[in-house]
Amino acid sequence: MPVGTLANVKTVTPAQLKDCEAQMVLANTYHLHIQPGEDLVAEAGGLHKFMNWHGPILTDSGGFQVFSLSEIREINDQGVSFRSPRDGRLIYLSPEKSIEIQNKLGADVIMAFDECAPYPATREVVDQASIRTTKWLERCFQAHQRAGDQALFPIVQGGVFLDLRQRSARELSGFDAVGYAIGGVSVGEPPELIEKIVRSTTPLLPEHKPRYLMGIGTHREMVQAVAAGVDLFDCVIPTRLARHGAVLTTTESDRLHLGDNESRRWNIKNAKYRTDFTPIDSTCPCYTCQNFSRAYLNHLFKSQEVLGFTLIAIHNITELIRFTQRMRDAIFNNCFVEEFGHFLTETPSLDQFK
């Protein structure tokens, strides 16, 4: 899911997203509450009309941003008080308030308000956050006023402590939600810990319901998560990298000489692309690769033209979506391990792909 934090995927229009074959986008409760406010979005007819995106939308609860971006004034079992990073005003978020905001925003999938413990953190701190997340979930379901048209996903927490993760997954599975999310990863942990967390937690969530790993978006991370049973991902990587001129590719020719570093990331600003009149990826069907050369993209960045951000964002989003499509096809064709096993540190059981 491309990330459209403030009701827009940076530098890319909804029509361009559709052409990239994006099926769903993500927006953020925390940021939209601060600007422009959920009441204005509701007055506009909800997020779909406000941002002119007619596909599914998921809104994060704001929990991660509260704990990662804000100057927290107070946190207790009732909720969190913090200063807005935009204007310094005091804001209060509770499970009830987060759900109220998301009900007004009108996304198709909304997330439960959770406490995301930082990394590193002591076991005591993580344990308390995990317990509070489960208690807050009960209140989220009680406050949810649009269960008929908005799916509420719980969020598994537990930090890097596998037993706390497993306890959280089992507790949340008891709520019989439409889908489930794994949060609190990609907050500073080394990659091997993320893989271990996902591999041990995902199988404990109902396999017949969507399982969503939050904040993940590299090729390797997605393969490892799919091998564990994850279905949904979101990440700012494709657009954030694009604004720095970084291009994502995973062509077969790349794999032949990159060895273990299959996810190739290179900078279009490099001098060698000044006279390179080939597309980023000759096998890519995106608007950028079908119409523009590396030399032209190099020129746009050297000239500080914003169009360069858009064109590389279109390619990067298309690249990651095509990559997930390849994984899906490999699962249907019973060849996932053969196609993507080189991304894995541990070979999964073939039974889970049947």
Query: Which of the residues are catalytic?
Result: 60, 234
Question: Is 86 exposed, middle or buried, given 0-12, 13-18 or 19+ CB atoms closer than 10 A?
Answer: exposed
Q: Strand, helix or coil at 113?
A: coil
Question: Order of strands across the sheet with 90-93?
Answer: 71-75, 80-83, 90-93
Instruction: Give me 23's structure tokens.
Output: 């099926």
What is the rounded distance in angstroms from the CA atom of residue 50 to the CA atom of residue 7?
Answer: 8
- Sign of the dihedral through C-alpha 301, 4, 192, 332: negative
What is the rounded distance in angstroms from the CA atom of residue 319 to the CA atom of residue 316?
Answer: 5
What is the rounded distance in angstroms from the CA atom of residue 200 to the CA atom of residue 194?
Answer: 10
Instruction: Give me 148's structure tokens.
Output: 């008929």
Question: Order of strands across the sheet with 180-182?
Answer: 155-156, 180-182, 211-213, 232-233
What is the rounded distance in angstroms from the CA atom of residue 140 to the CA atom of residue 250?
Answer: 41
